[in-house]
Amino acid sequence: MTKRRLESTSTVAAVPLALTSAGIALSGAMLLGQFTSWPVFLLFATLCYRFLGYRFHLPAPSQWVKIALLCAGVVAVEVSNGTFAGVQPGLEILFVLVSLKLLETHRARDFQVLTILGYFLALCDLLFYQDLSHGLCIGFMVCLETAALVRFHQDEGIGNAIRTSFWIAMQAVPMIVLLYVFVPRLSTGIRLQFGPSAQANIGPPDRMDPGSIAALASQHGSAFWAAFPDGNIPAELDLYWRGLVLWRCDGLTWVRGGNLTPERRGAIFDGELIHQTIILQPHMGSCLYALDRPSSAVPGAIYEAGDSLHSQRPVSLPTLYEVYSQLRDRERSIPSDQLRMALQKPGRISPEVQALVQGWRQDGADDARVVRSAVGFFRGGKFTYSLTPGTYSEEGLDEFLFKRRIGFCEHYAAAFATLMRVAGIPSRVVLGFHGGDFTGVYINVRQSDAHAWCEVWLKNKGWLRIDPTSAIAPERITSGLESFLEKHGASADGGRPVSPAATEWRRFADGTRLMWDQLTYQWDLRVLNYDEGRQRGLISSIGLAAWRPDQFGLALILAGAVFVGGAMLWLAHVRRGSLDPAGRLYSRLCALLAARGVARHPWEGPIAFSQRAAEALPNCAEQIIAAGYTYALCRYGREGAHVKKLANWVRLVRKAR
Amino acid sequence: MTQPGTRLRLQGNGWGLLAVMAAMWYVGAGQSNGAAYLLCFTVAGVALASIPHTWANLRGAQLHLGAVEPVFAGQDLTMRFSIEARPRGRHSSVSLAIPGAAYVQRLGIIDSEAPRGVEASLPAPVRGRFEGVRAGLQSGFPLGFFQARRMFELRQPYYVYPAPSGALPLPIASDPREGADFGIRAEGDDFAGVREWRAGESMRHVDWKAAARGHPLQVKQWDGAGSDVVCLAWERLPSLAREERLSQLAAWVLMAEQSGAAYSLQLPEAQIAPSRGENHMHQCLRALASLQPSPNGVPSRFRKPRFRFNTAAPND
C-alpha cells in the first residue's frame, strides 16, 4: 500500500494555510512565557512538518499517529500540571489540539475550523496581554486569519485577497464602532484572574532593599498617567506620587510593617482639592498611586496607615480611578500604635551612628533643629548620587554614611529615616514616584520616575516630607532622573560627548516615544477602561440616557440590518453601473416584463423577445416591440441618437398595464 | 426555468464563530477586558460586513443543464451543466450542488468571459421519466461563515430505463399476419439492397465499404423470412411483480434488438408497433421507463426519487 502524501490528500492550498498558520504561530509565540513551552514547540513542529510535507512529499500522518500524539499530549499536560483544571492546562490542551488540527487540515471545513481556532487563540493572548503593543499584534493576527479566509475562498492570489479583506475591514468599521460603543456592558460579577503576568510592570515592592528602586528606575515604560480634569495642575516640585508607606526599619532595608490604625479620614488636610484621573498600568501589586496626599475615598480601595491607597486585588489590568489630593497636611494627632511603630529602631546601631546623632542633639536641640542638622549633614557630606552605587553589605548603614557615600534615592531616604529614629524622631519611608512628563493633556509618569523619600513627625506640624535626595542632587528633583543622568554623563553611552546627529536622533526617538505614549493613553482610556460607567457617561452625554438596554439592542439590530441591506443595495447598484446606458435600460425592460410573467430566455435576442412578450401582453404590445427594436438599434446600429427613445419606450411600457 | 433568488444562510462553522464570539464577550465581561470586547465586536463587524459580499458574489450567476443521455437504472447518469456568469461579472469560489444526490463539486472562479461546463456523474437508482433536476450554485466567499445559494429547477426531461434483468427466454416470433395485421413490413435476414442514410439514423447498418469507395453513406436493408414479429407483451408475465416485469421486458427488448428480429411492445398504457433498429429500441425502453408506478404496492421511493424534483410522469 502506498502512503498518502500530504499534498495529494489536502485540498487546502499552501498559501491560505500559511497565512492562518502564521497567525496561529504568532499567538503561540506570544504565549511562550506564560506556561510550559512544550505545547507551543509542538505547534511549531507540526507546522514545520506540514510545510516541509509540501516541499518534500512527506506522508500524511495516519489516524493512529494522530491518536497517539493526542494521548501523549494529554498525558504530558497532566504530568506537567498535575491537573486538568485551570487556565494553564486548558491552554496547553488547546495547543495540542490546534497542532493536530494543523496536521489534518485537508478540506474546506477543516480550514474553516482552523481559522476559528486562530481567532480563539487571539482571545487567549488577550487574557494575558492588554497593552497597546500586544493589542496591535493581536489585531495583526486577526487580519492574517481573515486574509487567509478570503484567499481561500477567492483563489485569486494574495494581492487580491489582501485588497478584498482590506475593503471588508473598512466597511466593517462603522458597525464595529457602533457595537463597541453601544452594546450594553454588563458587570457580571465574575472575575477572571490569571497568574502573574510576565509583562506586568514591577511597581515598588512591599519592601525596600538597597538597589530595589534603582532596578525599577532603569526601566522606560510608563507606570501611570494622570490627567487633571479640573485643570488644577500642581507645580513640578510638588509632584510627589504617594504609593507605599514603610514603617519597619532595619538599617538600609525598610519593610511595610503590620496592621496599624489608619488615620481619621476627612478634615485633616488643607488647601485646594486636586482632582486626578489616573490610569495605572498593571504592576501586580496593590498600590494605587495618587498625589501626595490623597484625601478622598476611591471606591473599592483600602486606606492604609500612612495615607496609602491600596486596591483589594492585585492590579493586573490597566486600571482607571479618580482621586482627590490635597498638598498640605493638617494632622495634629497620631495614633499610639503608629507612634510606637514610627519610633522602632533597627536592631543594631553602631557607635559611629550614635555619635553622629548625639552631635545633632547637643545643646538640647529640638526635633526641627535635628532634622535641619541631618539635612545639612547630607548636603555637606560629599555624598554622590548614582543609579549604580554598587551593593552594600549587612552593615550597609555605616558603610554608606561614613565610607562610600554613594547611593540612590532609596539609600538616602532609608538612611535619613533610620537616623531620625535613632534620634528619637518618629519617621517613615514613602515609596512612590516623583515628577513625570507633562504632555499637555496628562502627566506621564514612568518607571524611571520611581522615588523614595522620608517623612518625620514633628509636634504641632504633623508628618513632614523630607526628601534627602533633593539635598544631594537638587537637579534630580527639579528635572527628573533621565535628564539628570544625561547631564552627569551617567547615561548608557558612558559620558562620551554627544554628536549633533545623536542629539537629532534622540529628539526623534523622544518624539516617537511621546506619540506612542499618547496612543497608549488613548487605548487605555477608550478601550481598556471603557466600562459600564464610562458607557453610561458617554450615552448620557449624547442625550440617550433614557434608553433602556433592550432599546439599544433593538436599535443595534436595526442598524445591522440597515448596514447589511444598504451594502447590498450599493453593491447591486455598482454592478449595474458596469453596463452602458442602453444595456441598463434594456435590463430594466427585461425586469419589467419578467415581473409580468414573460422572462427573457438567455438565448433570446431583443427582437424575438419583444415579439414573444408582445403576444403575451397585448395591452402594451406596441410599446414592447418598439422598445425591443430601439434597443436593437442602440446595440447594433449607431447608438447615441436612440438611447433617449429607448428610455421613453421603456417608460411607456412601465406605464401601460 | 424559473428565475431564482440568491439566498443566504449561516454555515455550520458560522455557529462555531458565534461560539468563539460568545467566549470573547464572556472574557470581556468577566475580566473587564475592553480589548476582548473590541476583538469580539471586530470579528462580529467583519462577519456582518462579509454578508453583502457573499450575496453580491453569487448574484446573477446562471446554471443550465444540457440534454441528458438515458441510462439503465443502477447506472450513472451524466449531466452536463453549464454555468454562466452575470454579464461582466465574476463569481469566486462557486460550487455546484445537487442537494438530492448529496453532490457538491467545487468549481472555483466563474468568469463571464469563460463560461464553465461541468459533467456530474450521478447514480440513477430508479427508473422513470424525469422532468429535470433541482440543482444549485453556492459560494462561501469571502469568509465562509455565510453561504449564498441559488437553486435552479432545471427543466430537462430525461429517462432512466428499467434495469434489464430476468431469466425468461425471448418469446417465439410469429407472423403478425396470422394474427393481428400491423400493416408494417418488418425487416428480415435477407439482403434487399441499399438506400440513402438519413440524418439521425443509426450508423450500425451503414455500408462502410461502399462509403470507403467514395459512395455517399448508404444503409443496407434486409428482407425475407423475417417478417415474423416478436411480441413483447405485458400480459405474458403475470407471475412477476410490476417492476420485475418491466425489467424482464427491458431485457427482452435488448435481446430482440440483438437478434435482429422485429419486435413490438404491448403495455397496459401503450402499444408500440413492430419494428427494429436503435430508434425503435429507445422508443420501447422509454415506454417502459414512463410506465406509471402503480399507486399501491410500490415503495414510496419510486414515487419520490431523492434528487429529482419531479417524479415519473405518465407516458405522453
For A619-636, the DSSP string reads GGHHHHHHHHHHHHHHHH
The mean pLDDT value for A637-642 works out to 66
pLDDT at B231: 87
Q: Which residue is listed with cell 431523492?
A: B306
Residue of chain A whose alpha carbon sits nearest to that of B49? A172
pLDDT at A4: 57
Q: How far does the CA of residue B307 sit from the closest CA of chain A (Å)?
A: 24
Q: How far does the CA of residue A240 sit from the closest CA of chain B (Å)?
A: 30
| Adjacency order of strands within the sheet including A301-304 | A287-288, A308-311, A301-304
Buried b (16+ CB within 10 A) or exposed e, B98-126: bebbebeeebebbeeeeebeeebebebeb
Give the closest of B32, B36, B139 to A531, CB-based.
B32
The CA–CA distances, whole Å, from B85 to A430, A490, A574, B148, B163 equal: 76, 72, 16, 15, 38
C-alpha span between A449 and A437 (Å, rounded): 10
Q: Which residues contact A560 (CB under 8 A, 6 or more apart)?
A: A175, B48
- Enumerate the residues of chain B whose CB falls inside 8 A of the CB of residue A583: 87
3-state secondary structure of A428: strand
Q: Which residue is listed with cell 482627590?
A: A324
User: Quick one: cell of B21?
Assistant: 464570539
3-state secondary structure of A522: helix
Note which residues in 192-211 of chain B have CB less than 8 A from chain A: none
Q: B140-170, pLDDT tens digit by residue?
A: 988 999 999 999 888 888 999 999 988 888 8
Residue A59 carries which DSSP code? B
Mutate to test the interface with B, among A101, A129, A149, A165 (most CBs of B within 10 A): A149
Note which residues in 208-267 of chain B have CB less than 8 A from chain A: none
Q: Tell me whether B46 touches chain A (CB under 8 Å).
A: yes
Percent of residues, chain B, with pLDDT higher than 90: 24
Question: Would the pLDDT of A268 be above 70?
Answer: no
Q: B109-139, pLDDT tens digit by residue?
A: 888 777 788 898 888 888 888 888 889 999 9
pLDDT at B306: 40
Higher pLDDT, A466 or A498: A466
Cα A356–chain centre separation: 51
pLDDT at B139: 92
CA nearest neighbour of A291 among A279, A275, A271 = A275
pLDDT at A496: 54
Question: Is B29 in Cβ contact with A172 (below 8 Å)?
Answer: no
Question: Would the pLDDT of B229 be above 80?
Answer: yes
Q: Where are the beta strands (DSSP E) in A350-461?
A: 384-385, 406-407, 427-434, 437-438, 442-446, 450-458
The mean pLDDT value for B71-78 works out to 90
Q: A542-581, pLDDT tens digit by residue?
A: 888 888 878 888 888 999 999 888 888 887 776 554 567 7
pLDDT at A298: 75
pLDDT at A640: 60
pLDDT at A313: 75
Q: Tell me whether B107 touches chain A (CB under 8 Å).
A: no
pLDDT at A138: 94
DSSP-derived secondary structure for A229-290? TT-----GGG-EEEEEEE-EEETTEEE--S--PPPPPSTTEES--EEEEEEEPP-SS-EE-E
Tell me what the pLDDT averaged over chain A comes to: 81
Contact B124, B100 (CB under 8 A): no
Q: A446-490, pLDDT tens digit by residue?
A: 888 888 899 998 888 888 888 888 877 777 766 666 666 666 554
Residue B157 amino acid letter: P
- Enumerate the residues of chain B whose CB falls inside 8 A of the CB of residue A560: 48
Q: How confident is the model at residue B176 (pLDDT cuts 50, 70, 90)?
A: low
The mean pLDDT value for A127-145 works out to 90
pLDDT at A558: 92
Q: Which residues contact A110 (CB under 8 A, 6 or more apart)?
A: A12, A101, A104
Question: Would the pLDDT of A343 be above 80?
Answer: yes
Residues A47/A50/A54/A57 CA torsion (nearest 10 deg): 140
Q: Tell me whether B144 touches chain A (CB under 8 Å).
A: yes
Q: How confident is the model at residue A77 (pLDDT cuts 50, 70, 90)?
A: confident
Q: Which residue is listed with cell 481556532?
A: A117
ipTM entry: 0.73
CA nearest neighbour of B143 among B5, B11, B6 = B11
pLDDT at B180: 42
Give the closest of B23, B45, B143 to A120, CB-based.
B23
Question: Would the pLDDT of B190 be above 80?
Answer: no
Residue of chain B whose alpha carbon sits nearest to that of A186? B29
Give the closest of B38, B49, B88 to A172, CB-based.
B49
Question: Is A187 in Cβ contact with B39 (below 8 Å)?
Answer: no
Question: Would the pLDDT of A190 be above 60?
Answer: no
C-alpha span between B85 and B88 (Å, rounded): 8
Q: Which of A38-42, A571-575, A583-587, B306-310 has the lowest mean pLDDT?
A: B306-310
Q: A283-302, pLDDT tens digit by residue?
A: 777 888 998 888 777 777 88
Q: How far does the CA of residue B141 sit from the closest CA of chain A (Å)?
A: 5
pLDDT at A193: 55
- Enumerate the residues of chain A whose CB falls inside 8 A of the CB of residue B64: 602
Q: Tell me whether B66 touches chain A (CB under 8 Å).
A: no
C-alpha span between A454 and A410 (Å, rounded): 9
| Adjacency order of strands within the sheet including A240-246 | A290-291, A240-246, A427-434, A450-458, A462-466
pLDDT at B3: 53
Q: Tell me whether B29 touches chain A (CB under 8 Å).
A: yes
Question: Would the pLDDT of B294 be above 70?
Answer: no
SS (H, E, C) A273-317: CEEEEEEECCCCCCEECEECCECCCCCCEEEECCCEEEECCCCCC
Q: Which residue is listed with cell 429517462?
A: B159
Higher pLDDT, B280 or A489: B280
Q: How confident is the model at residue A114 (pLDDT cuts 50, 70, 90)?
A: very high
**pTM reported for the whole predicted model:** 0.69
Residue of chain A whose alpha carbon sits nearest to that of B22? A120
Q: How confident is the model at residue A494 (pLDDT cuts 50, 70, 90)?
A: very low
Question: Is A176 in Cβ contact with B44 (below 8 Å)?
Answer: yes
Q: How confident is the model at residue A141 (pLDDT cuts 50, 70, 90)?
A: very high
Cα A136–chain centre separation: 9
Give chain A's largest Cα–Cα span: 128
Using left for φ > 0, alpha for ψ between -120 and 50, and beta otherwise, residue A80 falls in alpha
C-alpha span between A603 and A583 (Å, rounded): 16
Q: How far does the CA of residue B289 sit from the closest CA of chain A (Å)?
A: 30
DSSP-derived secondary structure for A567-612? HHHHHHHHHHTTS-HHHHHHHHHHHHHHHTT-PPPTT--HHHHHHH
Q: Tell me whether B114 touches chain A (CB under 8 Å).
A: no
pLDDT at A26: 92
Question: Would the pLDDT of B224 be above 70?
Answer: no
C-alpha span between B105 and B118 (Å, rounded): 9
The mean pLDDT value for A327-356 works out to 82
Residue A307 amino acid letter: D
- Enumerate the residues of chain B whose CB falls inside 8 A of the CB of residue A169: 46, 49
- Enumerate the residues of chain A whose CB falls inside 8 A of the CB of residue B106: 11, 108
Q: A233-255, pLDDT tens digit by residue?
A: 888 888 899 988 888 887 788 88
pLDDT at A7: 57
Residue of chain B whose alpha carbon sits nearest to that of A114? B13
User: Quick one: cell of A127?
Assistant: 487574557
Percent of residues, chain B, with pLDDT higher than 70: 82
Tell me what the pLDDT averaged over chain B comes to: 80
Higher pLDDT, A186 or A265: A186
